[in-house]
Amino acid sequence: MIRQILDLHTHSKYSRACSKELELPKIAATCAIRGIDIVATGDFTHPKWFAHLKEQLKESGDGIYQLNSKSSTSGSSTKFLIGTEVAVIKKHKDKVRRLHLLLFAPSLEVAEKCIQELQKRNINLNADGRPIIGMTAKDLLQLILEVDERMVMIPAHAWTPWFGVFGSKGGYDSLEDAFEELAPRIFAIETGLSSDPLMNWRCSWLDRICMVSCSDAHSPQKLGREANVFQFTDEKEISYDEIMRILRTQDRKKFLYTVEFYPEEGKYHYDGHRECKVSFHPRETKKHKGVCPVCKRPLVIGVMNRVEELADRTEDEARTTGTQRIPYKNLVPLPEILADTFHVGVGTKRVVEAYTDLITHCRSEFSLLLDTPLEKIEQYSSKQIAQAIGCVREGRIHIEPGYDGVFGVVRVFGDKEDHGGTKQLGMMLE
């Protein structure tokens, strides 16, 4: 059996606010360092990026691609799945809906047919790697299924306020509201950085839906901050169809667990107002009737509050239900752990050198965070670093929740370097 770690939501250098380093060779090299085995290409609808994909990739299996000999890093073992994120903006059911959606194609040829269908509708694919499409989510789903029945749509970061399918600013109250009779064709959603599977399990109407977790990386450094851990019999079994079957059926023998941000670290977990530096737990929001006490304008309602609004289970009930679902592990990226341990910035020379040294000994970041015994980590670095990674594995960390576009802050030891913690894990894999 072989373990494969998948990141199914990334971008290219052609998406707005994304790093110019996001080209295939750099992505593949970073995936090797992180320990990501299979990564989505991102942005396949952009003409220049699609040309880059056709030039740089060769098919190595059914719907699975790798870098070809034209790449400067040929020989890379990183596998690619053809995928992208799009934005749909359209009035539907008396409200303007703004949703981000992941689309997957079983081949470059099918992706090209999808591009051609979008171009027939005069959709501007040149402006952004994540294009804005003036269609409803349902109509776009119908279009891709007409292109090829094997194409798949997964709603991205499903709970975020502005572009989540369940978001407070333009989303729906259920998948049936959004997709109507096509709702059964949606078999997975992306939890996003601000929610985890436990929060989603509170909604019984999502029981048939598989929870996936991905990085939504806007730079190589963010690849793999969330991921999915699969298990295959051998390399020959890895294919587009098998990956989608595993998601569709929530195959617990093949889908081992997801790797999650602590949801409090996501930038839309709590309610709040960034300009006024107001961050509220939903209880506080209710006390203030959803209004910012500083500027008297409406607060941005975050993921925790929105889940609470739509949930029909308590957290304890969800935890019980979750024993029959795909489990998950909460992790903190290694650079953040090192930075907090050293009390320096993430991009400082000390963090970069310590990171490089650890990866040299432990093969990849995921190998270190998930598998490497703490005594080995201490041997390769220091007792304090090993202890910090142990705290993260056990959930003994301190978090200041994110809100209204402001990322939460994770501290391993807290301001006084104590070894206690305030976070209780939702569902950790033993």
Give the model confidence (pLDDT) of 194-222 as tens digits: 999 999 999 999 999 999 999 999 999 99
pLDDT at 128 over 70: yes
Q: Which residues pair with 101 in a beta bridge?
A: 86, 155
Residue-number span of the structural domain to which 229 is assigned:
2-264
pLDDT at 72 over 70: no
Do residues 351 and 235 both lie within one domain?
no
Q: Has residue 348 been placed in a domain? A: yes
pLDDT of 114 reads 98
pLDDT tens column, 341-377: 999 999 999 999 999 999 999 989 999 999 999 999 9
Rama region for 69: left / alpha / beta (φ>0; ψ in -120 to 50; rest): alpha
Q: pTM of the entire structure?
A: 0.94
pLDDT at 426 over 90: no
pLDDT of 74 reads 52
Do residues 19 and 153 both lie within one domain?
yes
Domains in the chain: how many in total?
3
For the four alpha carbons of 219, 221, 225 and 230, in that order, the dihedral sign comes to: positive
Do residues 234 and 347 both lie within one domain?
no
Do residues 61 and 108 both lie within one domain?
yes
> Buried b / exposed e across 343-379, counting CB within 10 Å, b at 16+?
eeeeeeeebeebbeebbeebebbbbbbbebeeeebbe
Do residues 286 and 363 both lie within one domain?
no
Do residues 248 and 387 both lie within one domain?
no
pLDDT of 73 reads 52
pLDDT at 425 over 80: no
Q: Has residue 20 been placed in a domain? A: yes
Q: Has residue 139 been placed in a domain? A: yes
Where is the domain boundary, 242, 264, 286?
A: 264
Q: Has residue 313 been placed in a domain? A: no
Residue 76: pLDDT band by 50, 70, 90 thresholds? Answer: confident
pLDDT of 415 reads 55
pLDDT of 120 reads 97
Q: Has residue 61 been placed in a domain? A: yes
**Which position has the higher pLDDT, 65 or 362?**
65
Do residues 257 and 292 both lie within one domain?
no
**Would you call 97 exposed, middle or buried from its count of C-beta atoms within 10 A (0-12, 13-18, 19+)?**
buried
The CATH number linked to 243 is 3.20.20.140
